[in-house]
Amino acid sequence: MKALFLAALLAAGPTAAVATAQTPATPGSETKQDAKKATTRNVSGTVKASSADAVVVAGKDKGQDTEWTFAVEPVTNIRKGGKSITAADLKAGDAVQVRYTEREGKAMAQSILVGTAAKPK
């Protein structure tokens, strides 16, 4: 039986042996190397809208007004005044700093820090 398998493997050539050793990646599975490739970015702005699973932030990018939509996961760290809050607790007009990564074409919020709004002079 082993001889028959070995003969079939040799007949298929060296590329067949390599191809059978590879396993296809399943969607959503990330290796440690893929995780290292994810670049963390930071933006500052004000909350336009929020829900339990997303936050829309308006701000400036390269001098232009822009909006970002960030997906919020259960592991996203959201802090206001030193206390943990949820994305649903965010209010329109809150000044925020968002740390995020791009994953599967989405901006995924890692942490959101709510600051105090600047008072007019």
pLDDT tens for residues 68-115? 999 999 999 999 999 999 999 999 999 999 999 999 899 999 999 999
| 103, part of any domain | yes
Number of domains in the chain: 1
pLDDT digits (tens, 9 = 90+) for 17-72: 333 344 344 444 444 444 456 789 999 999 999 999 999 999 998 999 999 999 99
With respect to residue 87, please indicate whether it lies within any of the assigned structural domains.
yes
- Residue 25 lies inside a defined structural domain of this protein: no
Q: What is the CATH number of the domain that holds 87?
A: 2.40.50.320
- How far is Cα of residue 116 from the mean position of the Cα atoms in its chain? 26
Beta strands in the chain (DSSP E): 40-50, 54-61, 64-71, 77-80, 83-84, 95-103, 106-114
The Cα–Cα gap between 119 and 6 comes to 78
d(CA 48, CA 25): 37
